[in-house]
Amino acid sequence: MLQFILVQNRQGKTRLAKYYTPYDVRCWFLIDQFLDRGLDDEKVKLKGEVHRLVAPRDQKYQSNFVEFRNFKIVYRRYAGLFFCACVDSNDNELAYLEAIHFFVEVLDTFFGNVCELDLVFNFYKVYAILDEVFLAGEIEETSKQVVLRRLEFLDRLE
């Protein structure tokens, strides 16, 4: 099962962050009143950790899997973007690698040769696409056509 999906660029700027398990977001009103700290401390820390783990890895000589806490990160780099999926340690890494690629292919067809800027300006659409491919941390649809047709309908409804 997916724990979270992160898309980060080489500088560590997050372009997409989706969590399928809660990552310690504490009682917001408490933090608001008494602490002058960010709400999502844990998530910020996590993003930094993932970036430091993944970014320096060699593309050619190293595998696309890194152990992370009790999980594994399966990542793949497309141009300047790292697509990282954190999965359970007994999950099939190769299949998730393929799933990442599937997601990127959908993005590519949807935006027509996708680039980082597409993700920046249309981030809410990216989230919508993600929700059509993964749900509750599991892959939901494996046909590109079905996903794209669905997205088309949804956009027409707006």
Contact flag: residue 64 with other proteins (CB under 8 A): yes
Contact flag: residue 65 with other proteins (CB under 8 A): yes
Distance separating alpha carbons of residues 33 and 105, to the nearest angstrom: 44
With CB under 8 A, what is the number of residues at the site for other proteins?
57
Q: Quick one: which of 34, 56, 70, 136 contacts other proteins (CB under 8 A)? A: 136
Contact flag: residue 148 with other proteins (CB under 8 A): no
78, β-bridge pairs: 81
Question: Could you tell me the smallest distance in angstroms from the CB atom of residue 133 to other proteins?
Answer: 10
Contact flag: residue 34 with other proteins (CB under 8 A): no
* For helices 123-133 and 93-111, angle between their N-to-C axes, nearest 10 degrees: 130
Distance separating alpha carbons of residues 76 and 117, to the nearest angstrom: 18
Structure tokens at 113: 């040769």
Q: Quick one: which of 93, 104, 111, 151 contacts other proteins (CB under 8 A)? A: 93
- The count of other CB atoms within 10 Å of the CB of residue 85 is 26
Q: Are strands 14-19 and 2-9 parallel, antiparallel or unpaired?
A: antiparallel
Residues that bind other proteins (CB under 8 A): 13-20, 22-23, 25, 28, 31-32, 38-40, 43-44, 47, 58, 61-66, 92-95, 97-99, 102, 120-121, 123-124, 127-128, 131, 135-136, 138-143, 145-146, 150, 153-154, 157-158
